[in-house]
Chain A
């Protein structure tokens, strides 16, 4: 791993806080409690990343951040979970079979709330700007259709799983970062730690 224990801890804790903050809004939107896993941080090959998501049909909301640091922030679901989440968000009595414009917009907004909260936490703590492109719905082979082509063979992945109480709906919130960028961000993490300990 490229980072020290403390630097890894910073990344996981900031991720946890960002997602935790969005949980209040998301839970209100879904009208159901949301369970969140403990965050994990891994250096993975693209192949390993593909194996980490077992669903056969992956749908995601992806926001590319593209400034000094480049990466992908995404909320990923299996198709069934995704349709159930949309149904809960829009108050449908029956789960739809497919997506229309309203469903896509709702899903984008849902992802945007989670991902913006997460990225904002990093920006505030580390003093870096992570400008994002508009959220996009992505559907297709995972991970090939979901990651920026500029990434190398290995990626740093920060992931939390969520599940919606009272349903089988689960999803993954994932940040994919380039290892070179992470190495560059390490000094910002150290500066953050120094501020904490001062």
Chain B
């Protein structure tokens, strides 16, 4: 399984990688970037190999929603999650509108476990 994570915080990326491995397997390849523009490029270049993409909402240059809007024509929304500490309803609505998953940073482990175990069954 290959997972792309896009978050402008290196600390958040370390945490996410750890949780992704716990929720899937230690063999999972986790690609990380702090640059949302590079994230778009990596997502599109690896679109056939990526099982899942996690995108932080609050980033400079491009927001998580901007990133998602750029990759969603090429990648199924079921393989994308908007990740944020900002759990207000309007943010959830934006994720829902695009058909992508919504994951709160606070309960990331449980939310991600459910999604990735579903993906592992399919794979």
Interface residues of A (CB under 8 A from B): 5-6, 9-10, 12-13, 16-21, 23-24, 26-28, 33-34, 36-38, 165, 193, 196-197
What class of interface size applies to chain B in its complex with A?
Answer: 20 to 34
User: Is B59 part of the binding interface, using a Cβ–Cβ cutoff of 8 Å?
Assistant: yes
B59 touches A38 (CB 8 A): yes
Closest B residue to A37 by beta carbon equals B58
When each residue 77-98 of chain B gets 1 if its CB lies under 8 Å from chain A and 0 otherwise, what string results?
A: 0000000111111110000000
A-B Cβ contacts below 8 A, count: 61
Chain A residues contacting B120 (CB-CB under 8 Å) are: none
**Minimum C-beta distance from B116 to chain A (A):** 20
Chain A residues contacting B87 (CB-CB under 8 Å) are: 20-21, 23-24
B88 touches A34 (CB 8 A): yes
Closest A-B pairs by Cβ, 3 of them: A20-B85, A33-B90, A27-B88
**Known: A9-B10, A196-B15, A196-B18. Contact between A16 and B85, CB under 8 A?**
yes
Chain B residues contacting A165 (CB-CB under 8 Å) are: 90
Chain A: interface secondary structure? helix
User: Is B37 part of the binding interface, using a Cβ–Cβ cutoff of 8 Å?
Assistant: no
Closest A residue to B15 by beta carbon equals A196
**Minimum C-beta distance from B60 to chain A (A):** 5
Which chain B residues numbered 1 to 51 have a C-beta less than 8 Å away from chain A? 8-12, 14-15, 18
**Known: A193-B11, A196-B18. Contact between A16 and B58, CB under 8 A?**
yes
Chain A residues contacting B11 (CB-CB under 8 Å) are: 6, 9-10, 13, 193, 196
Which chain B residues numbered 48 to 89 have a C-beta less than 8 Å away from chain A? 58-60, 84-89
Chain A residues contacting B10 (CB-CB under 8 Å) are: 5-6, 9
**Known: A20-B86, A23-B87. Contact between A36 and B58, CB under 8 A?**
yes
Closest B residue to A18 by beta carbon equals B85
A183 to B47 CA separation, bound complex (whole angstroms)? 43
**Minimum C-beta distance from B26 to chain A (A):** 15
Closest A residue to B9 by beta carbon equals A13
Chain B residues contacting A10 (CB-CB under 8 Å) are: 11
A196 to B14 CA separation, bound complex (whole angstroms)? 7
User: Is B110 part of the binding interface, using a Cβ–Cβ cutoff of 8 Å?
Assistant: no
**Minimum C-beta distance from A150 to chain B (A):** 30
**Minimum C-beta distance from A32 to chain B (A):** 8
**Minimum C-beta distance from A172 to chain B (A):** 16
A36 touches B12 (CB 8 A): no
B60 touches A38 (CB 8 A): yes
B9 touches A9 (CB 8 A): yes
